Each structure stands twice: as structure tokens, then as C-alpha cells.
């Protein structure tokens, strides 16, 4: 598998706090993406970062990519109860299709 | 805006039966992907189609087959169902501007449907 583990597997925080999730992968990549999934629902794309980028922002989301460590992090600032979901990173390399990591389950309590 | 449509949303089958899932991609999207997600698991790539031809293949069992039709909708056929096939099956679509070959590589984000939940009893 191209993907390693995401950590933490589960994260529980209070509203207003920041949430940081990490993702590791094994091979070279073209792009790394983060997706969100509410329980039993489809995955929703959050943000894409290319292998030549180191940081990207979108609203309350901040993604970093360290290709030397083959890792990425997703930071959600000022979290809300509505951010409760599972978050997956996914990578592609060469001409491969997107491969997903194990995911982090985030619980934001009011 | 139109999204990826999957049907049926829920399906209950007995062991050894067959099942067919359908996927209607976003209009003008040229690539369709099928993923399987077991309980508490990450989505596992099964198979993809670019312009109606198979473009990439993942961990799809030999009991499963899929195709993309002239109207770009796709169907996943599953035969000899096993208990372990119980899962959420997602279809996703994407668009690859300027892609002249069938490479299967994603050019950007995938748009997912809401999934079809298959339960095998």
C-alpha cells in the first residue's frame, strides 16, 4: 500500500480549539488531498496540495506538506461542532488513482 | 449543481446472490471511480474508467466487474456475494482537461456520491 497511517486515529476536542491531524505516506506523490466524511456519507474534498507546495490555506483549514518526511498535516482552526467527521488524506503518484489513508475521527464537543 | 448520483442507496442480498450498483457521474466528467469502504475502514479503490474504457484497477475481486456506458454512467456488478462484501460502495467522478491518453491519473479532486450500502446476509 502506498499509504501509511494517519494519526491520531481519533481526536476529541472542545469547540473553539484547534485540531491537528497528520498523515504519512510511503512513495513519491504528485498531489496530496484531504477529504472529509460524515458518518455513512460520501467523501467531500477539502483541499489539494501539490508535491512542490509546502503550505496551503483554505478558510479555517491549513495544510502542510513535507515531502522529505513523506508527511502532511491538516489543521482546523477554531473548530465547531459541525466539524465532527472523519478526515482522510489521499495521494496520487505517477498515473495512479487516489489512494486513501486510514483516517482520523474528529469529535468536536459544544 | 448536479452531483454524482448512486443507486440504490441501500441493498440487502443473500450470500451467493448478485447485485448491481449504478453510478451517474457529474455531467461532462470523463472519469468514474469505484471505491469500497468497510465499517471503520478507509475507502479502497476498486476500478476506474476514463472515456468508457477501464483506466486503472485496484483490489477488485474477480467476482466483481464494472463498465462505463456511452452515456458515461457506470455499473458495478457483484456476483457470488460473500458476507465480507458488506460495505459502502462509493462512486466518484472527475474531469481531466487536456488528457489525451487513458492514464487513470487524477488531475484534481474527486467528487463522490453518497454511496450504496450493501448488506449481505
pLDDT one-digit tens code per residue, A24-71: 999 888 889 999 999 989 999 999 999 999 999 999 999 999 999 999
How far apart are the CA of A110 and the nearest CA of chain B, in angstroms? 24
Q: Which pLDDT value is given to residue A27?
A: 87
Q: Which pLDDT value is given to residue A97?
A: 82
Q: pLDDT tens digits for A74-107?
A: 999 999 999 999 999 999 876 668 899 989 999 9
- Residue of B92, B78, B112 lying closest to B32 (CA atoms): B92
Residues 6+ apart with CB under 8 A from B38: B44, B86, B87, B88
Q: Which pLDDT value is given to residue B2?
A: 80
How far apart are the CA of B71 and the nearest CA of chain A, in angstroms? 22
Query: Which chain B residues have a beta carbon less than 8 Å from that of A31?
Result: 106, 108
Q: Which pLDDT value is given to residue A28?
A: 87
Nearest chain B residue (CA) to A101: B42
SS3 content of chain A, % helix, strand, coil (to 5): 5, 60, 40
Nearest chain A residue (CA) to B6: A42
**How many beta carbons lie within 10 A of that of residue A81, not counting itself?**
11
Backbone angles phi, psi at B23, to 5 degrees: -140, 130
How far apart are the CA of A48 and the nearest CA of chain B, in angstroms? 7
Q: Three-state DSSP class for B84?
A: helix
Cβ of A42 within 8 Å of Cβ of B4? The answer is yes
Cβ of A40 within 8 Å of Cβ of B43? The answer is no
Ramachandran quadrant class, B38 (left: phi over 0; alpha: psi -120 to 50; beta: rest): beta
The residue among A40, A48, A58, A98 with the most chain B CBs within 10 A of its CB, best to mutate, is A98
Query: Which chain A residues have a beta carbon less than 8 Å from that of B39?
Result: none
Q: Which pLDDT value is given to residue A3?
A: 61
All residue ranges of chain B with pLDDT < 50 are: 99-106
Q: Which pLDDT value is given to residue A95?
A: 61
How far apart are the CA of A98 and the nearest CA of chain B, in angstroms? 7
Residue A4, pLDDT above cutoff 90: no
Q: Three-state DSSP class for A10?
A: strand
Amino acid at each position: 500500500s502506498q499509504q501509511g497511517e494517519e494519526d491520531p486515529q481519533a481526536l476529541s476536542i472542545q469547540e473553539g480549539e484547534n485540531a491537528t491531524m497528520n498523515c504519512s505516506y510511503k512513495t513519491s506523490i504528485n498531489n496530496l488531498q484531504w477529504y472529509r466524511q460524515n458518518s455513512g456519507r460520501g467523501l467531500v474534498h477539502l483541499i489539494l496540495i501539490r508535491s512542490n507546495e509546502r503550505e496551503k490555506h483554505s478558510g479555517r483549514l491549513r495544510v502542510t506538506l513535507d515531502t522529505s518526511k513523506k508527511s502532511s498535516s491538516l489543521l482546523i482552526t477554531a473548530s465547531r461542532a459541525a466539524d465532527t467527521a472523519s478526515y482522510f488524506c489521499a495521494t496520487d503518484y505517477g498515473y495512479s488513482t487516489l489512494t486513501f489513508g486510514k483516517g482520523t475521527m474528529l469529535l468536536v464537543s459544544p | 449543481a448536479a452531483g454524482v448520483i448512486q443507486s440504490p442507496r441501500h441493498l440487502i442480498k443473500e450470500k451467493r446472490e448478485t447485485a448491481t450498483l449504478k453510478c451517474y457521474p457529474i455531467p461532462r466528467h470523463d472519469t468514474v471511480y469505484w471505491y469500497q469502504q468497510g465499517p471503520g475502514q478507509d475507502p479502497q479503490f476498486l476500478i476506474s474508467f476514463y472515456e468508457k474504457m477501464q483506466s486503472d484497477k485496484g483490489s477488485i475481486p474477480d467476482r466483481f466487474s464494472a463498465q462505463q456506458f456511452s452515456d458515461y454512467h457506470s455499473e458495478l456488478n457483484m456476483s457470488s456475494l460473500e458476507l465480507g462484501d458488506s460495505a459502502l460502495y462509493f462512486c466518484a467522478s472527475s474531469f481531466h482537461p487536456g488528457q489525451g491518453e487513458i492514464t487513470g491519473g487524477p488531475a484534481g479532486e474527486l467528487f463522490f456520491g453518497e454511496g450504496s450500502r450493501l448488506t449481505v446476509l
